[in-house]
């Protein structure tokens, strides 16, 4: 996703289309390599769930098996970030390379990536293109990955405790189309590839939240202008409400914890960016881009998962 806009400290001169200021490759490459290793580890632990304590040679033998999760997930995330990067380059916006964030202790092995926009995005059309390019590109990879993974996933009786992945409208429709009706007392047990595709939907949903400088915030600001700042404040305050819904519904804080964490992260980012979304120059969003913006907001509704993961 695009990172915080540093435009308040950036020069007011835009770069020619297709050019960026000189930027270092070292840190982005190191973080990318670490993230690949972290995601491979998460994939290996899915293939060998009983091997969470393996070390040394056992770990070295297991890591390559994680490719069935790591390769599709990294393809989704990398395509998402390249969508932002190439759209920014096309509009001559000074943009960094993606900074991937490894997280070896989590189920995905990563917290995604950020791209720093080092100057103000001037036109609403450019803001829409840059904000929408990432989620649309990533979703174009995530959907076929998920379909292939669901086709490989067995339907079995639910006989022991486990975890239920979040259900959204788009996921439920694709699952019905690929797997068909699921008998009562049964469920689809996701393969690592299917889990990677599902994670792609979740990441896209989180980024499409119409708040701040998330992808959805950029899209909504391009569509609504300064009115989006008021909308974002209301939506931000709704996130603790989604957490409380899960707490009451399941008598457990864990199912909705992601929304509480996301609320804290977005509140901190909002404070660091001094509140409102950086303004664009006067001008209207083109008709075609207006349709893309509306489609992205509809897509957020289709991808929204009130309960991303819960134990049963």
Phi then psi for residue 5, to 5 deg, are -80, 120
Which among 183, 180, 239, 185 is positioned nearest to 210, based on CA atoms? 239
What pLDDT score was predicted for residue 23?
56
The rounded distance, in Å, linking the Cα atoms of 92 and 63 is 40
Query: What does DSSP assign to residue 214?
Result: S
The rounded distance, in Å, linking the Cα atoms of 9 and 28 is 22
The rounded distance, in Å, linking the Cα atoms of 306 and 181 is 23
Which among 272, 266, 14 is positioned nearest to 122, based on CA atoms? 14
The rounded distance, in Å, linking the Cα atoms of 141 and 120 is 29
Number of other residues whose CB lies within 10 A of the CB of residue 2: 29
Each residue's pLDDT expressed in tens, for the chain with a length of 312 residues: 555 444 333 333 344 544 445 557 889 999 999 999 999 989 988 877 654 555 556 666 777 788 999 999 999 999 999 999 999 999 999 999 999 999 988 789 998 998 888 788 889 999 999 999 999 999 999 999 999 999 999 999 998 888 899 999 999 999 999 999 999 889 999 999 999 999 999 999 999 999 988 999 999 999 999 899 999 999 999 999 999 999 999 999 999 999 999 999 899 888 877 778 888 888 889 999 999 999 999 999 999 999 999 988
The rounded distance, in Å, linking the Cα atoms of 146 and 173 is 12
Domain ranges of the chain: 2-311
Write out the two tokens for 47: 């293939």
Q: Which residues of 18-57 are buried (b: 16+ CB within 10 A; e: fewer)?
A: eebeeeeeeebeebbebbbebbbbbbbbbbbeeeeebeee
The rounded distance, in Å, linking the Cα atoms of 4 and 65 is 36
Q: How many CA atoms lie within 13 A of 187 on its CB side?
A: 13
The rounded distance, in Å, linking the Cα atoms of 217 and 223 is 10
Q: Enumerate the β-bridge partners of residue 155.
A: 188
What pLDDT score was predicted for residue 159?
86
What pLDDT score was predicted for residue 54?
57
pTM beyond 0.85: the answer is: yes
């Amino acid at each position: 996703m695009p990172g915080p806009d540093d435009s308040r400290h950036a020069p007011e001169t835009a770069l020619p289309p297709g050019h960026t200021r000189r930027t270092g490759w070292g840190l982005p490459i190191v973080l990318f390599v670490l993230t690949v290793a972290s995601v491979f580890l998460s994939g290996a632990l899915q293939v060998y769930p009983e091997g969470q304590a393996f070390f040394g040679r056992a770990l070295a033998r297991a890591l390559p098996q994680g490719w069935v999760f790591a390769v599709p997930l990294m393809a989704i995330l990398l395509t998402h970030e390249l969508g932002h990067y190439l759209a920014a380059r096309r509009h001559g916006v000074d943009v960094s390379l993606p900074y991937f964030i490894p997280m070896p202790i989590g189920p995905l092995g990563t917290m995604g990536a950020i791209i720093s926009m080092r100057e103000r995005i001037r036109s609403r059309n450019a803001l829409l293109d840059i904000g929408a390019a990432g989620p649309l590109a990533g979703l174009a990879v995530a959907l076929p990955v998920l379909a292939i993974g669901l086709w490989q996933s067995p339907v079995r009786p639910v006989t022991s405790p486990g975890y239920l992945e979040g259900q959204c409208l788009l996921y439920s429709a694709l699952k019905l189309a690929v797997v068909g009706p699921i008998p009562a007392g049964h469920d689809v047990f996701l393969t690592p590839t299917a889990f990677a595709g599902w994670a792609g939907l979740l990441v896209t949903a989180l980024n499409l939240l119409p708040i701040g400088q998330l992808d959805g915030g950029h899209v909504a600001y391009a569509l609504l202008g300064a009115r989006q700042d008021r909308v974002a404040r209301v939506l931000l305050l709704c996130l603790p409400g989604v957490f409380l819904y899960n707490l009451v519904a399941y008598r457990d804080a864990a199912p909705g914890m992601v929304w509480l964490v996301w609320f804290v992260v977005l509140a901190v980012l909002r404070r660091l960016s001094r509140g409102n979304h950086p303004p664009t120059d006067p001008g209207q969003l083109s008709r075609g881009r207006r349709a893309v913006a509306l489609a992205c907001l509809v897509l957020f509704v289709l991808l929204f998962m009130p309960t991303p993961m819960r134990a049963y």
